Structure 1
């Protein structure tokens, strides 16, 4: 009997340490596009959502009022699939991208500001400044390109020598963070192209994020290196602590004050972390896409709302709000 009890106790402890106990119970959900989406973005406060599906194209939602605000339609005349969406830090503008072109939208007027094409590489990631005039692209040819759409100024950042997988642009458009297959992430000045900090990884960098006030940066690779950096000094603050062999993220966002980080994975896991210690605070499994085998959904975006909940947006076309025990 003692042997059985000890074995059971050890099993419980190991399971807890490996994070096998997690919640699947959301506190609110929005079933927006149950046929699935190819991209889905949230505003910083998780009030607005912009998503793309093949059936309904681009649709803007108000999650607080639980209603559709506008159908924006197709991005381009060829109805190419939108694979990337970002909403500006102030929630006023959005940028959407296929592999070959991108469009900027004024969400207040629910209309497009313009459509631009890229000819020298495929778009792998994109971001937009709060004024809606500045865009940052990460391309398959190793370039990170900053564009001022009003002045026409274009800066090609050429420090990466392989594909650029993830980019982040400061709300004021002055600083950029890019990560690529060359195992490096760079923080650089969009006025001069000067590298301010270089963050080294052991594998390909696949996700980067900036805290909105420019205090912190997040970079993660295809292994289990996921770090938070002090942008004033360039020094590491913490490394996300996990027993998983891989920590591959499809989404990452800091809370406004930078104290917390939320991440999402391609396998449907949503996590909340203490940014200063790297300790995992919460972990949830999102609703999978209907009739998929194995059942799962990609977490495209996540954000902290005004009620201190975390809201996830996934390929299942569903947004879910989760209570976090901080």
Structure 2
């Protein structure tokens, strides 16, 4: 999650709204946070949600439970926790300030290590089980760390600051994007570049599917492109219906030909992966006492074929049921 994202404040009480009809109303709504929400993230299946509201603790919620499962304190400093990541298999997580990273087990809640950084961190990603860590820095460098053997590899392919990156589930492939619009797919074994492409504007988001077969990249002007990997061949451009839409989060589901994105202005959108066609759209909830009355969707997930999940800057985790026509692959 980029550091500069807008934040809002909410109450700690858990609110559940139930319903059986699909549409604009979520089936389930959970209010997670009190105070300023600096960062939020969810696992690929929506089972776990991380919430940061300042220096700590980071709250770890399990879907459907009325209280946080864990409270994670990164250190005794007053630095805000501004970056969160969860491994594709949902077993490990990372929390980070601008110069310090902590790794955690989502299964036990135990800390797996602390790491002090020499450069200002802007974004990060994890491989399955937290076996490796990918870091993107303000100075344009990207670093892959094999946490099993301590091997570090520095990637110097960018000439501007890293805005977003992602790591394949097996940790072998990295996708990184910089402020100058450049996106690069590279190997973490030797930093060999496999593909690269250019956006006309600064890239705000890149995401891989768990198997590394597809990539999604979006720029600050709301232009989103789906590409097939490792060639980087374009598959589809998103037919964005609203001018100025900015993508904040995304989740690819090639098995069911779907892409789920979260954006500014409360946008949650479901797309057809191979055509870029918009299938459905929702507006996430608000904290009505706060102004401006808007929210950004920090994280999205496919719970199953019928249900979607979103976590927003309003601190609301929401489950959405798809209309029957969109439940087929």
TM-score > 0.5 by shorter chain: yes
1:195 Cα deviation after fit: 0.6
1:237 Cα deviation after fit: 0.2
1:245 Cα deviation after fit: 2.9
Hey, what's the Cα distance between the residues in 1 that align with 2:106 and 2:165?
22
Stretches of 4+ aligned residues off by more than 3 angstroms: 64-67
1:110 Cα deviation after fit: 0.4
Deviations 1:22-42 (A, max 9, x none): x64111111111434211111
2:224 aligned residue: 226
| 8 Å CA contact retained: 1:263, 1:270 | yes
1:282 aligned residue: 280
Helix, strand or coil: the match of 1:242? Answer: coil
Q: Call closer, same or farther: CA 1:182–1:54 in 2, change over 3 Å.
A: closer
Q: In the TM superposition, what are the counterparts of 1:1-326 in structure 2 within 5 Å?
A: 24-54=24-54, 57-72=57-72, 74-120=73-119, 122-255=120-253, 257=255, 259-306=257-304, 308-325=306-323, 326=326
Hey, what's the Cα distance between the residues in 2 that align with 1:311 and 1:124?
25
1:244 Cα deviation after fit: 2.8
| 8 Å CA contact retained: 1:304, 1:311 | yes
Q: How many residues align?
A: 303
Hey, what's the Cα distance between the residues in 1 that align with 2:33 and 2:55?
9
Helix, strand or coil: the match of 1:162? Answer: coil
Deviations 1:203-222 (A, max 9, x none): 11110000111110001111
1:290 Cα deviation after fit: 4.4
Hey, what's the Cα distance between the residues in 2 that align with 1:258 and 1:179?
26
1:75 Cα deviation after fit: 1.2
1:104 Cα deviation after fit: 0.5
1:108 Cα deviation after fit: 1.2
More deviation in 61-70 or 101-110?
61-70
1:15 aligned residue: none
Hey, what's the Cα distance between the residues in 1 that align with 2:254 and 2:199?
26
Hey, what's the Cα distance between the residues in 2 that align with 1:291 and 1:102?
34
Hey, what's the Cα distance between the residues in 2 that align with 1:188 and 1:105?
26
| 8 Å CA contact retained: 2:96, 2:102 | yes
Hey, what's the Cα distance between the residues in 2 that align with 1:308 and 1:168?
26
| 8 Å CA contact retained: 1:268, 1:297 | yes
| 8 Å CA contact retained: 1:250, 1:300 | yes
How high is the TM-score relative to the length of structure 1? 0.88
Q: Call closer, same or farther: CA 1:88–1:258 in 2, change over 3 Å.
A: farther
More deviation in 275-284 or 262-271?
262-271
Which stretches in structure 1 are left out of the alignment for 5+ residues? 1-22
1:14 aligned residue: none
Q: Call closer, same or farther: CA 1:56–1:192 in 2, change over 3 Å.
A: closer
Which stretches in structure 2 are left out of the alignment for 5+ residues? 1-22
Deviations 1:248-303 (A, max 9, x none): 11111112626111111133211111111101111111112443222012211000
Helix, strand or coil: the match of 1:257? Answer: helix
Larger Rg belongs to: 1
